[in-house]
Structure 1
Amino acid sequence: MTSTSGADERRDAVAEQLFSSVIGALETLHVYVGRALGLYDALDGSPATTAADFAARTGIHPRYAREWLEQQATAGVLDVADETGDPGTRTFCMPEGVAEVVCRPESLALVAPLASMVMGVAQAMPAVLEAFRTGGGVPYELYGEDIRRGIADINRPSFVHQLGSEWIPALPDLHARLTGGGRIADLGCGEGASTVALARAYPSAEVLGLDLDPASIESARVAAGDLDVTFECRDAADPELAGSFDLVTLFETLHDMAHPVQALTAARALLAPDGAVLVGDEKVAERFTAPGDEMERFNYGWSAVHCLAAAMTEPDSAGTGTVIRSETVRTYAEQAGFAECTVLPIEHDFWRFYRLDP
């Protein structure tokens, strides 16, 4: 039986954790404001500014400018360059290095897009509550542009810096083939950040991005510009696509799929002889342990309110959730008819990578 002192300690620890979480949530809202209104961009590389000057440069109201700047300084994101004691003359600046975290779109240190993803989840919460009651799901489109854009923005730096230089070279046979040509299908491409990175890394290859969300495909086409890459809102199981791709990729999408085995079966059918599938998905613990570390908490934090909920919209959903463990991927691959599922020696803070061979 738990002693009274032990119960009190647990009570106080949980209360402190929840209080800290609320502080973090409120600070996340201010990061969202900074990104949505371009406030961080205005501070990046600029001299120290008063609230009035900042308001004039960014087109926001001076009183809100002052409160946001003071909040950001209190949170440790910005510095007070000159503390005059007068709110009207106090100046603020962005410390060296912080821009990489909040507003440099290709920085590997970029974290701020997570705020947009949180806001996307927040706007869908009434539907999430109903899904909890009924066992149904939440259509992806209810999460809105914030989650689509946030996912694209948070993953883009890894695609830009690591996909062509580290991830695909971990499959040396395919890296060599694609360097001279070949075909790549990027399944669940979202807004196309991964597909664009593939096309830039392998300019001699033909690259196709596939997704079932029309809004994502529309944004992907805009993002690609004049780059020679094709995006289609099309099912990968379309028999016209079968047997023609050297590499099929699924980046952070398998756990979101209502029917992952069918998706991998379609991916296998897309492969040309000696082709392979590359899956990059969440780097979670090998087994459930409670309490979990920060990464486990991070991934479970998204699961029931977004990834699981979006997948549960379809009948007979696998309901994988964000926390997709290695054994789950292996099981799905085996059920889809793959002969081998190999965890690749690729270092990444958030993802684990698998090579699937027929």
Structure 2
Amino acid sequence: MPISQSFPSRTLGSVNGGLQVSALGLGCMGMSEFYGARDDTQSMETLNRALDLGISLLDTADTYGLGHNEKLISRLITERGRDAMTIATKFGIQREKGLYARDLNNDPAYVRSACEASLKRLGTDRIDLFYIHRVAANRPIEEPMGELAKLVAEGKILHIGICEVGTETLRRAHAVHPITALQSEYSLWTRDPEDGVLAMCRELAIGFVPYSPLGRGFLTGQMTTTDDLDDDDFRRAHPRFAEGNFQNNLAIVTHVKQLAKEKDCTAAQVALAWVLAQGKDIVPIPGTKRIPYLEENARALDVTLTTADLERLDRLVPSGAAHGERYTAEGMKGVNV
């Protein structure tokens, strides 16, 4: 897909030469739910600005707003044309409207029906990157992968992705059909992929797409209390934002902000620069629904962290530094399978 000549690109995976994408993607989930009230006009302005900047990898899922997010992307396709963007979407999480509780479904028949439904909502004939959003532990990974391979052969999806899996599951899935990208949470306060998964991705030539690279906004340094969050913001129930954990985690932000001050940039840009510096096969997808934050994130590519800077952050914010679990027990369904 075309990328602005002024915006760098990276390559995910090696299937058919890999999938070339903008070096930074845009996570679109918050445009539909979880992070307070949605504003479609504001979101469309942000999506258009992303394409103008050269950020063309758009990450969505059928469960975001229960289809709303994909329909939002379809409006962008109508305005800008299909070839202006690279669309990544996902299947596998089933929820009822207004509820966070979820079931995981990897049944092959559901794989196909979910793909067809996403194609219809998006208003396109192909999905560039189709992820298994969460792996159901009660079904062999070979079953959904077999159906995804058929969808590739039919041209309905161009690349296969998988989310939040361990090394054994990743290897088994890749043996059925090459995986182009693994998407998992990864940031200065979530270092789980360093326990073998990143190494496995490199062994198998699989790209890595970190979501929540800004720690759900915490690492931006803009938050001092959860009282600033909307009543329906899911972070109010997030373990790392809970009373006690929130205050302890502010120490992490202090270190990031200090380095940002020395670099004459923002804490968000340091946090993103850290993720980007972990390898050229890594493409973070920070989410936002506001243009100023989008532009701030894009400028993280101009921030250079030296070896000394990276060593300093590793020392001050080591793996496991964050207080609290990554999700509630419900949210952890299908994580690190």
TM-score (norm 1): 0.30
Give the structure with the larger helix fraction.
1
- Compare relative contact order (CA 8 Å, sep 6+) and give the higher one, 1 or 2: 2
Larger Rg computed on CA atoms? 1
TM-score (norm 2): 0.31
